[in-house]
Amino acid sequence: MKAWPVLGIALMQVFLLGAHWFLFRTWMAFWGPMTLAATMELRVALILLGFSFIAAALCGFYFSNGPVRLLYWVAAVWLGMLNFLFWAACLCRIVDLALRLTPLVVHLPWLRPRLVVTLGLAAVLVSLYGMINARWVRLRRQTVHLDRLPESWRGRSALLLSDLHLGNMNGIAFSRRIAALAERLQPDVILIPGDLFDGAKADPDHLLQPLRQLDPPYGIFFSSGNHDEFGGEEHYTAALKRAGIHVLHNERAIVDGLQIVGVGYADTTHPLRMRMFLESLKLSDGAASILLNHVPNRLPIVEGAGVSLQLSGHTHGGQLFPFTWITRRAFGRFTYGLQRFGALQVYTSTGCGAWGPPMRVGSHAEAVMIELR
């Protein structure tokens, strides 16, 4: 592995261990004295959980089998619960400080254990809600008016499926659900702007099997996201082509007059390279164009190249509070939905799947049926 990924993994591991240490100290402070054996068991359990997600993610990167998938599921669920338990612990500290400034301070020995249990249970309930909410993929319908749209495309539909994250968490059953949804909707074309895969070692041919059955009149088009490029995207690209999916890696396809363009995630990290490719297409000289760009960024470049509509994902709408707030600070109004950037229209989807914790709190999963006008 290169130095930067190793450093990133190390920093994340330190952060996770720090969060677990904070949970341990908060529980000990609020619950009260515990036996030496119980204290040691809690400490060992939290240390093991503290290493679980990084260990599971690394195992999933190199191996694909039942035990690895189980380990990843347990670790990912715990990671989501950790988020809410951490904020519950912070709230315990804040409430405790506030009570010390009131006459209720005399009741703190009685209140503190009940406070930590109540807020801890609330965190668990929020986590359970998040798991249920993440599995509910909403269908959103969106009408988009495009200048220079070929007459043959007026009234036709494009199904936007972003961020499925097929792998150790979202497996073949999830792939079947999405394929069944697409089959029921009968779109004219299916567009996938990245993160179809999670970057895990899982067999891509197996995961794509349900999508092989889809046969929209004008095909299925894909451009890569950051997770599709983990460890090299060649094995994913080969599987996609075997499944009959058109991979647009810095390419343009003319589909009954409509221009569909795809840029790979890696190339979007090099603005000059992206600009040169898009400007070479002279998109403004032809019919309307749709760009598959995983991240809702590089908008001045995309607009300047004459793209009509950009379809993106990546943000997940933040997926979990408080990351919903952080994501909104990073991407602004382009975090979600249909927005304008000058002459360019941008639709950012929250995506069908989830990364890491199989939870959504403050966001929702979606597939988007776009009607072109």
- Asked if 319 and 205 sit in the same domain, the reply is yes
**What is the pLDDT at residue 233?**
83
Please indicate, yes or no, whether residues 112 and 142 belong to a single structural domain of this protein.
no
Q: Are residues 43 and 97 in the same domain?
A: yes
Residues 95 and 151 in one domain: no
125 and 170 assigned to the same domain = no
Instruction: State pLDDT tens for residues 155-185.
Output: 999 999 999 999 999 999 999 999 999 999 9
Could you list the residue range(s) of the whole structural domain that residue 10 is in?
A: 3-133
Residues 241, 136 contacting (CB under 8 angstroms): no
The better pLDDT of the pair 62, 302 is held by 302
Instruction: Give the whole-number percent of the chain exceeding pLDDT 70.
Output: 99
One domain, residues 170 and 317:
yes
pLDDT band at residue 5 under the 50/70/90 scheme:
confident
Neighbours of 24 (CB within 10 A): 18
CA atoms within 13 A on the CB side of 246: 21
324 shares a domain with 339: yes
Domain count, the chain: 2
Residue 24 structure tokens: 């341990």
CATH assignment at residue 340: 3.60.21.10
Is 70 exceeded by the pLDDT of residue 2?
A: no
Last residue of a domain, one of 133, 154, 185: 133
Same domain, 72 and 215: no
User: 209: buried, middle or exposed (CB in 10 Å: 19+, 13-18, 0-12)?
Assistant: middle
Shared domain check, 174 and 128: no
- CA-closest candidate to residue 120, choices 197, 7, 24: 24
Transcribe 282-297 into DSSP letters. Answer: TGGGSS-EEEE-SSS-
- Mean pLDDT for 339-366 is 98
215, 333: one domain:
yes
State mean pLDDT over 100-120. Answer: 93
- Where among 76, 98, 133 does a domain terminate? 133
Choosing from 76, 101, 133, the residue where a domain stops is 133
Tokens in use for 273?
């390279």
Domain shared by 160 and 93, yes or no: no
350 with 250, same domain?
yes
Q: How far apart are CA 256 and CA 238, in angstroms?
A: 26
pLDDT band at 1 (very low <50, low <70, confident <90, very high): low
Count the residues in the chain. Answer: 373
